[in-house]
């Protein structure tokens, strides 16, 4: 049962990484067609909130049972990651910002070890280290290194928010009052939409872009079709499979596997958008895959062996 549960968790984590990684290739044509990046984020989160609103009503008891979890997930795991990442992009290169955001799994290991006082497996730590090195190659950090202090701090803030995404996803998974992941995600999207509305100001959006076409791999694709992919697959489906995978695995393992999102996004951009894939990026992708493999090979610490003297005592009593 435990083995099959872990295999299912790994499968869901990979599916989630693929879904998240597919957001860029669908969103970039919309941005190139005239949408502001923050408006794209608002459409993504608001669309997911609209799709999941019936589930929010179905699980309305979560507002009473887990109010802090819902607010934390919406503010940090949804709005926080997006807002801080795009804020960092305005001050530092994309590759550096992406690398800083994906330091989240490494920060997560520090949170588990030093704040929660829980053991961290060597495999998870080694896998995270290898994955971070691979990510540096994937984003080619040396191509545009710029250490604007505020931009770096904003990128690290995005990494912290990403780390807490896994913490919130695992919240209550082992207790008796386990919150339904669909309800948590639904309310998280609603709260995230409220926050992003203040930040993005969608009333200034060029809504006409959504009524036209966008160019994807030299093909004219309806903008609404691309937006539908971003909302339904790269957001709703990605968050649902991601949260469930954390509960079947562990935050530390799921966090390292999630680093594959950057690799998948790079490969899809190469295939669908014609963006060049260099040798260092290919090597980096292999390193990230290796890091994920190392992390998932971790095993829970076996229970302590029973002392022989205790066994002899029990045998005597028998």
Q: Domain range spanning residue 33?
A: 2-317
The pLDDT profile of the chain, 318 residues, written as one tens digit per residue, is 344 566 787 888 889 888 888 887 888 889 888 888 889 989 999 999 999 999 999 999 999 988 999 999 999 989 988 888 888 876 776 666 777 777 777 788 788 877 877 877 787 788 778 878 887 887 677 665 556 788 778 888 988 998 888 888 876 555 556 788 889 999 999 999 999 999 999 999 999 999 999 988 778 899 999 999 999 998 999 999 988 888 887 777 777 777 777 777 777 877 777 767 677 877 887 887 777 777 666 554 444 443 444 334 333 334
Q: Which two tokens stand for residue 264?
A: 């998948």
Cα distance between residue 218 and residue 247, in whole Å: 41
Cα 91 to Cα 175: distance, rounded to the nearest angstrom: 42
The answer to whether the CB of 31 falls within 8 A of the CB of 276 is: no
In this structure, are residues 60 and 172 in contact, taking their beta carbons and an 8 Å threshold? no
Phi-psi region of 275 (alpha: psi -120 to 50; beta: other; left: phi over 0): beta
Cα of first residue to Cα of last residue in the chain, in angstroms, is: 33
Query: Is the distance from CB of 189 to CB of 45 less than 8 angstroms?
Result: yes
CA–CA gap between residue 176 and residue 187 (Å, rounded) = 21
Number of domains in the chain: 1
Give the C-alpha distances (Å, rounded to integers) separating 34 from 21, 39, 82, 167, 203.
Answer: 22, 10, 19, 36, 15
Q: Residue 213: in which H helix or E strand, if any?
A: strand 213-216
Q: pTM to 2 decimals?
A: 0.78
The encoded tokens of residue 151 equal 């931009």
Region label for 172, one of left (φ > 0), alpha (ψ between -120 and 50) or beta (otherwise): left
DSSP code, position 220:
E
Residue 261 dihedral angles phi and psi, to the nearest 5°: -55, -45
Sequence-distant (≥ 6) Cβ neighbours of residue 244 within 8 angstroms: 9, 12, 181
At 216, phi and psi to the nearest 5? -125, 110
Position 155 scores a pLDDT of 82
- Rounded Cα–Cα distance for residues 72 and 249 (Å): 21
Q: How far apart are CA 167 and CA 72, in angstroms?
A: 10
- pLDDT reported for residue 303: 42
- Ramachandran category for residue 254: left, alpha or beta (phi over 0 → left; psi -120 to 50 → alpha): alpha
């Amino acid at each position: 049962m435990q083995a099959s549960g872990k295999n299912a968790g790994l499968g869901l984590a990979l599916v989630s990484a693929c879904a998240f990684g597919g957001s860029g290739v669908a969103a970039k044509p919309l941005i190139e067609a005239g949408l502001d990046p923050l408006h794209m984020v608002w459409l993504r989160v608001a669309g997911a909130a609209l799709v999941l609103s019936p589930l929010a009503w179905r699980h309305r008891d979560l507002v009473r049972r887990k109010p802090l979890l819902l607010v934390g997930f919406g503010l940090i795991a949804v709005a926080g990651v997006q807002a801080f990442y795009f804020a960092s992009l305005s001050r530092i290169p994309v590759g550096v910002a992406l690398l800083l955001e994906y330091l989240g799994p490494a920060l997560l290991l520090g949170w588990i070890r030093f704040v929660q006082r829980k053991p961290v497996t060597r495999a998870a730590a080694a896998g995270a280290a290898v994955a971070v090195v691979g990510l540096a190659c994937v984003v080619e950090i040396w191509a545009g290194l710029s250490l604007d202090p505020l931009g770096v701090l904003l990128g690290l803030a995005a990494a912290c928010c990403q780390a807490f995404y896994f913490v919130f996803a695992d919240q209550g998974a082992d207790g008796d009052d386990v919150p339904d992941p669909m309800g948590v995600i639904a309310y998280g999207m609603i709260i995230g939409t409220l926050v992003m509305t203040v930040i993005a100001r969608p009333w200034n959006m060029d809504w006409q872009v959504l009524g036209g076409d966008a160019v994807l791999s030299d093909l004219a694709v309806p903008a609404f079709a691309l937006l539908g992919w971003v909302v339904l697959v790269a957001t709703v489906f990605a968050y649902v499979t991601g949260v469930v995978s954390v509960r079947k695995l562990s935050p530390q393992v799921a966090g390292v596997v999630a680093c594959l999102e950057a690799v998948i996004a790079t490969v899809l951009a190469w295939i669908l958008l014609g963006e060049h894939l260099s040798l260092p990026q290919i090597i980096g992708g292999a390193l990230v895959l290796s890091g994920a493999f190392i992390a998932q090979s971790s095993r829970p610490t076996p229970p302590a062996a029973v002392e022989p003297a205790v066994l002899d005592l029990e045998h005597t009593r028998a």
